[in-house]
Amino acid sequence: MDLANFLIQLLNSVQYGLLLFMLAAGLTLIFGIMGVVNLAHGSFYMLGAYLAWFLSSRSGSLTLAIVLGAVLAVAFGLLLERLLFRHFYHRDHLDQVLLTFGLIYIFEELRSILWGDDVHGVKIPELLAASFPLTDTLSYPVYRLFMSGVCIALAIGLYLLISKTRLGMKIRAGAFNRDMTEALGVNIKRIHAVVFALGVGLATVAGMIASPISSVYPNMGSQVLIMCFVVVVIGGIGSVRGALIAAMLVGLVDTFGKVLLPHVAGMLVYMLMAGVLLWKPEGLFKQ
Amino acid sequence: MTTRRLVLSRSAAIIGAASTGLLLPEIVRAQSGRVRVGLMLPYTGTFAQLGVAIENGVRMAIDEKGGKLGGREIEWFKVDDESEPSKGVENANRLVQRDKVDVLIGTVHSGVQMGIQRVVRESGVLNLIPNAGVHAATRALCAPNVFRTSFTNSQPTLALGQAMMAKGHKRAVWITWKYAAGDEAFEGFKESYTKAGGTILKELGLPFPNVEFQALLTEIASLKPDAVACFFAGAGAAKFIRDYAAAGLKNTIPLYGSGFLTEGVLDAAGPAADGIITTMHYSDSLDTPRNKQFRTAYATRYKLQPDVYAVQGYDTGLLLAHGAAAVKGDLNNKQALYKAMETAVIDSPRGKWTMSKAHNPVQDMYLRVVENKENKVLGVAAKALADSGAGCKMG
């Protein structure tokens, strides 16, 4: 592999890693701060993709679809939290797994009833539709760079929210000691509702941003769910910083694995996970 | 109070059982003398639409032949196989043992087919495969009572190599998912392309159903082949087509593939798919009177455009009707039934085809190019193409 090629593959890795981060951030927040195992996380990703397709084909604008979709998703997250998840915070993890596993089936069926089982494409906005040449045969789509930019912005935003704001302080306090935080007069129920809606919002936005590249199809959530869990487990449950680094690692291993060791490419990411867990059983950055 | 409720609920249960026929199945069965046809197809999940299209095709073909099989009425049994290989044997047994079907039509997913294969080889029940292209079904695990009306996974790509060489593409890269169907498609491509004098520069693969193609597209760009050949299907195919175009490869390195690459995804893929050349046993736009008549009839009946899966289902119905007519509805006369089906000439919308010795279609492969969201037929890439049937010991 020559230098130019190596650099392009590096770009591919970072770009894939950033997308994984955006997907896993919401999961690790809900998992780490509220202690809820949310298997339906992938369904929110699918919901986002379908919303992007549906709203953009109606309105003709992906930007409008994403703004509208994000608002709808947060509202939907708040509603779900109020109706279902709120009753499961103190329950066993197994109960949560059963609830969210059931939700996967319900969301898939609703998707089938509402939008059918077809594969759909989402048009890239005119402004970002171009590609620029890297070598004489290979070009790079501008939209992929835009996606990476959005992911970086989200990462910075999350970091600022959690470590620099008053709300972030309450979130961290609630994750550290729920009872004590509550005793100090913080409305922990409201904090949880906000975090849950934020997590749902992140997954949905990830689905919407990725939809022009991934295309929109049934069961798309379950494919990304496993990768999300790998990232969350490697990074350390609940750590947003850990999720970022783990996502980068997974991106690197997956990309270079496919090129250099194609016959074991399917295993490499999981071997990375096993290796990290042997070394640090609680992940790289346990909170 | 408790006793009364118990009595009430028990009598309700008995009434319920009687009304669903649980108490008198033998009488009903003996009276009817119907042919019991089992459909084991995916009705939920990713392949749900394929299952529906196949069933539509089967029913339409049989209805066109008078709605009976060899003069006997039909009783239908349906099982949703969910495209779930781990339940393949169990689901096949539901039809074979519980419902005692005379013929089992199924299925789409190759992994599930392996379960059916086991059950029908043991029980001897007639099995018609309307889609699953797994080699073993008509090779090492072939059986006198198993007939396929679709294709083997390597059949479309067996026609691809010659077509690519004819365009002067002497060095090619192959790319697919690393799983059984992808490997079998590669077998067909490798055989036809190297035989025609082409060189395969590299065989690229990624785990199924991973759709992060960027690393491999970068690899293709650096190898600079004359052309790329591939096997992808469904949502992953749409994404591959779009990524291939977005990486700027579409204009410099032509893309070829097994026809499934461009089936059912052209709306999702958009203009990125224009110019892709594929080989397959059918095309929606096939310009023959037979195909047009079929398409009109199907669209009128179901208010839905047929696809290749509907055609395969339709041919399955034709084959079954032909066999049953030859034995006048006596499906237990197996020797005569199989003989009739082996020698049948199916007048299909895809063109006439016959059965190979291993019970797989000997059929024309069409060369197709994508233009304006349609697979336009360029011509016949290979006439009367047969699968080798290697390893099939029968008869």
Digit-coded pLDDT (tens) for B109-142: 999 999 999 999 999 999 999 999 999 999 999 9
- The partner residue sitting opposite B49, judged by closest CB among A117, A137, A219, is A117
User: Is residue B316 within 8 Å of B105, Cβ to Cβ?
Assistant: yes
Confidence of residue B395 (pLDDT cuts 50, 70, 90): low
* pLDDT more than 90, % of chain B: 82
pLDDT band at B2 (very low <50, low <70, confident <90, very high): very low
Q: Which of residues 221-260 of B touch A (CB under 8 A)?
A: 221-222, 224, 234-235, 238-239, 242-243, 246-249, 252-253
Distance from first CA to last CA of chain A, Å, rounded? Answer: 39
How far apart CA A80 and CA B113 sit, in angstroms, is: 40
- Strand ranges inside chain B, DSSP E: 35-41, 74-80, 103-105, 126-129, 146-148, 171-178, 199-207, 227-231, 255-258, 277-280, 345-348, 351-355, 361-371, 374-385
The whole-chain average pLDDT of chain B stands at 90
The C-alpha atoms of residue B275 and residue B270 are separated, in whole angstroms, by 12
Looking at residue B326, its amino acid is: A
Which residues of chain A are modeled with pLDDT < 70? 287
B333-359 mean pLDDT: 96
Per the CB < 8 Å rule, is B215 touching A259?
Answer: yes
Between A89 and B310, where is the model more confident? B310
The phi and psi torsions of B216 (rounded to 5 degrees) equal: -75, -30
Q: Which of B204, B207, B249 shows the shortest C-beta gap to A137?
A: B249
- The per-residue pLDDT for A263 is 81
Place of tokens 């980068």: A248
Among all residues of chain B, which has the CA nearest to that of A255? B215
Tell me whether residues A119 and B206 touch, CB distance under 8 A.
Answer: no
pLDDT at A34: 84
Angle at A26 between CA A22 and CA A28, to 5 degrees: 105
Nearest to A141 among B224, B246, B270 (CB): B246
Burial of B69 (0-12, 13-18, 19+ CB in 10 A): buried
- The residues, any chain, with a CB within 8 Å of residue B170's CB and separated by 6 or more, are B197, B198, B199, B226
The pLDDT of residue B207 is 84
Alpha-carbon span B187 to B278, nearest angstrom: 16
ipTM over 0.90: no
Taking 50 as the threshold, does the pLDDT of residue B10 lie above it?
no
3-state class (DSSP) for residue A103 = helix
pLDDT confidence of residue B11: 45
Cis peptide before B25 (omega within 30 of 0): no
> Which tokens hold the place of A210?
């990725």
Helix (H) or strand (E) holding A102, with range, is helix A93-115
pLDDT higher than threshold 50 for residue B22 = no
Name the region of A218 (left: φ>0; alpha: ψ -120 to 50; beta: rest). beta
Global pTM value: 0.84
